[in-house]
Amino acid sequence: MKTVGVWDSGVGGLSVLRALLAEVPEVRFVYVADSAWAPYGGRSADVITERALNITQALLDRAPLDALVVACNTATAGAIDALRARHVSLPVVGVEPALRPAAQASQSGHVGVLATRGTLASRRYADLVARIEAAYPKVHFSSQACEGLADAIEQGDGAGVRRLCQAAWDGLQAQSPLRAPIDQLVLGCTHYPFARAELERLCGLQVSLIDPADAVARQTRRVLDLPATTVSTRVPNPPVEWLDTGNTHALARAARRWIDPRADVQVFPV
């Protein structure tokens, strides 16, 4: 059985892990939450890169990996190039805001992007926007940093999630008041799908929410060189090892709620 490491700052990567379990249920996963250093949104690229290298090496020291999924937009933007340079033989799959499918689907020509400050400030994001705008010159992207939203989701703070989602949606709409309404909303942080219900309530039925998790799962299948499958199903007893660099309670609570009610999280000191 092939083994894939999945790494995020906290519980947000569970949205990607859910898609992975449906797409490649024949794979064993090791999930790492770096709660000791979360949230990543306000940290420098240098700090995130150091954490990426340290966590990946610690995983490889425990057991071989067939691939690594960086299930965090901020970490992908800040550290994936360094990871690929350090571990040339290890396939590394990252997450980036799904701007292209949003641009392809937009009828109004106005796409909103919610992400962390770290993602939006990165060169990787700027380059991505430039490429997609060149390919779709009639599409405009409005980007909004959601300060604190990932942390509120981590803490299970429902009132905080509602308040921060409202602030983010208001901020997006205020940026381009004379443009056509936003009809595609890109979730540029793996935590944000866990606020989907609140965001859908705010945006209304005319706005489609775009989550890249399924695309990440399909890419993981490709890099593992596994045959294509037409079956997408929930795994009743998912083969996941759960690790956390800090306090294990948030990951245990979220993993038991969204993935496996039997999830047992171990401390992973890195």
Give the residue numbers marked as catalytic.
72, 189
| d(C-alpha 227, C-alpha 117), whole Å | 38
Cis, peptide link before residue 101, omega less than 30° from 0: no
Return the H-helix or E-strand segment holding 196: helix 196-203
Q: Of 234, 35, 6, 269, which is closest to residue 153 (Cα–Cα)?
A: 35
| d(C-alpha 180, C-alpha 197), whole Å | 24
- CB distance 17 to 229 below 8 Å: no
3-state secondary structure of 195: helix
- CB distance 186 to 114 below 8 Å: yes
In single-letter form, the type of residue at position 194 comes to F
